[in-house]
Amino acid sequence: MIVRRRWTAAATTAILFSAVLSHPAPGTAAPADPAPPITLGATETALVRVQLRDQAQLDRLVAAGADLANRPRARDGRILADLVLSGTQLAELTAQGAKAVQVVQRAGDGSRHHAESVRAAQARTAAGLRAPAAGQRTTAAAAVDTLQVQQAYWWTTSGQTFLQAQVATTATDDPDVEITVSWRTADGATGSFPLYRFEDSGEYQYHYNLPQPVPNRPVQLTASSSLGGVSRVVTPTFWPNTTPPPLPAGYQKDFIDAYLTPTDIQARIKRLARQYRDLVDVIDLPNKTQGYRRNAVAYLGDPAVAAVVVESVRFGDQGMNGVQVRTVDPGRRNRPLTVRYRDRVLTVSLATDTAGKTVSTTDEVAAAINARQPNRFRATVEDGSTGLPMPVAGPARLDDGLQGTEVPARPWTVQALRLGVHRDGSRVGVLAYSQEHAREWATPLVTLEFAERMLANARTDPATRELLEQVDIFVIPTVNPDGANYSFNDFNMQRKNLVNHCTGAARDPKYRTSWGVDINRNYTVGSYFDGYVGASANCLSGTYAGTAELSEAESSNVIALAQAHSNIKFAMNVHSYGGYFMWPPGAYRADGRVTLPRPSIDESTLFLNSARRIVGAIAQERGTVTWPSQTGPVADVLYSAAGNSADQLYYELGIFAWDFEVGNDRWNPATNQWEGVGFQPPFDEAHGESQEYAGGLVEMVRVARDYAAAQPAA
């Protein structure tokens, strides 16, 4: 029997979010569509694609540290953002003129998808945009601007051809400039579509739109603006225009049968090391994580009336789960406030007055517990209870609130696989690592599928054997096992690790799904602590940077592995979702949008040419194409991510460091819309992502081999 402890996973709480939502933009909301509106229960949490009212609404959300899943995009002149929201937050946004257009995933869906993936495994065994506002001018003004086509690409996937364009105007300070793209196909068909202004950190970047369906191969594209500017005629380029070597007959793949928990991953690492002793080393990374553990906590009193939050100093699994706390009336006059701990019961005897009435306040009770039992307990006054009379209450049982009873409650040793014939540093090294963010369940499937392909084919495919002769491969399937365990067992939208650096009222258990550090904001280059944008000092924020650079075991492990193996020259950080392929710089300062230094021309060329190769390899599996507008430096195609791992690997250690965002949007021909797949899609989709992006990692190994071969002999 599985015992469920008292704390249940609650809706995400974003402390600053509600404050921002309480200040709606001026004006009235847009008329409602005939279709029924999408709503959530007040305490329900979901990942929702929301059409925002305007840029100002987006700016307020970003400033508040809202949980954005990827970069906001434009569609039909509207801003679309994927947000993790509670029902209350969605209702507040809707009241301000926003509109929910897709529930990508609900909190709790992940457990269902995990169960579905397990059943599938058993079956297998058996068998930043700104759009022109209404009413803006569409006729040419006296001044004529100049247009430059920055991108014009086309591709075909699932039988549908798409065209994407990116155009910049010299009228950068005019927010009302409208740009339209006109196209012609090889068979003479013509058409057009609008582009929308994209600003980032208050700086104009360009105009663009999502990929647009066209009848067949486009051969001509021009852009015109409402100011009279007209671009030169360009021929759209086929994207990515690369094809990997064909797979030989008998090539082995498809080693992924189910979503994998950290315990499952640990077992698979052990099995691979046993099965391929001549090709595998297992590296225990040096910094143990906290483990799937939390301090035990209880409300002493009624939070709706008056309460004190009492928390154990030690973790719940260290003998503190089940400890009881109570307040009592001594039943005598003129008694002082006392605190006693005996037989696993913390008893607070309230002070009384001359009439024998209890007179202790919540603040006094919390202070007394902290002063007299500092090695066992810490106490804070529950929000809204400051200065209130402390009631006689309890006994209440302390509990860590963790529901994964099958998860080991101990510090976790993160492990890396090292693959290759020559695992001695004499060959160029490649690092693939995944699940820095706990809720991204598909990402370890990618890295493990990649590892198994390399090992299984080494004995039957000469090309794979050659790669393992020439490249030294490192794989960390799960960087953040504690957060992953919490995501699988307690709150599937968990992004961060389990270390709770919050103090005071922020340690209230009602915020438990918001605790933790964002591992990919905890690195040293371009960090929040250096003044870069994209991380937070708020311990409840989804992008909380921690107490200092590399304060967390998880981030320190990634860097320790790279520092210990100086032959690593290429790295891929696998995230989800949205379909991105990115590289440094990944952060900028807000004033003037000053990024970290740009790579040299030669290095930029290597980044882009390698990206084309890898994107081409991904597309071979099921036609998935990462958009050219989402291929490039992180700070340009996603957002500023202060303190991310790729920047530290590149700028400090000289590693060509990339980022995947697996889980590309899928085109729905019935609605003519791109739809998001989420962090934990139904397993069939996650399985597809594992297959296509594993192929991309194999191509990265080929990139590393070719790079090493081109270097002059030492």
Task: Provide DSSP, 223-240.
Answer: EEETTS-BPPPB-PEESS
Q: How far apart are CA 471 and CA 114, in angstroms?
A: 34
Compute the distance between CA of residue 682 and CA of residue 680 in angstroms, rounded to an integer. Answer: 7
Residue 110: predicted pLDDT: 65
Measure the CA–CA gap between 350 and 335, rounded to whole angstroms.
Answer: 8
Question: 471 φ, ψ to 5°?
Answer: -130, 140
Please name the amino acid found at residue 141.
Answer: A
- Which class for 114: exposed (0-12), middle (13-18), buried (19 or more C-beta within 10 A)? buried
Could you give the CA distance from residue 634 to residue 661 in angstroms, rounded to a whole number? 11
Answer whether 111's CB lies under 8 Å from 193's CB: no
3 state SS of 534: coil
Q: How many CA atoms lie within 13 A of 643 on its CB side?
A: 31
Look at residues 582, 580, 570, 573 and name the one whose alpha carbon lies nearest to residue 662: 580
What are 545's two structure tokens?
A: 């940077």
CB within 8 Å of 32: residues ≥ 6 apart = none
Q: What DSSP letter does each residue of 85-144 carry, written as one string? A: EEHHHHHHHHHTT-EEEEEEEETTHHHHHHHHHHHHHHHHHH--EEPPPTT---S--SS-
CA dist 315 and 699 (Å) reads 44
- At residue 586, what are phi and psi to the nearest 5 degrees? -110, 5
Beta strands 160-169; 203-208: pairing state: antiparallel
Question: Which residues of the chain are under the pLDDT cut of 50?
Answer: 1-33, 124-143
Burial code (b: 16+ CB inside 10 Å, e: under 16) for 697-714 equals bbbbbbbbbeebeeeeee
Residue type, 643: G
Tokens of 626: 């990462």
Burial class (CB in 10 A: 0-12, 13-18, 19+), 175: middle
Give pLDDT, residue 81: 87
Residue 644 makes CB contacts below 8 A (sequence gap 6+) with: 520, 521, 523, 526, 573, 586, 587, 634, 659
Which tokens sit at 605? 């060329």
Burial class (CB in 10 A: 0-12, 13-18, 19+), 342: exposed
Give the residue numbers annotated as catalytic, written as ranges: 661
Residue 72, pLDDT score: 78
Record the pTM: 0.87
Tokens describing residue 532: 């870069």
Longest dimension (CA), the chain: 98
H helices, E strands: number in the chain = 14, 32
Considering just the CA atoms, what is the radius of gyration of the chain in Å?
A: 28
Task: Specify the length of the chain in residues.
Answer: 714
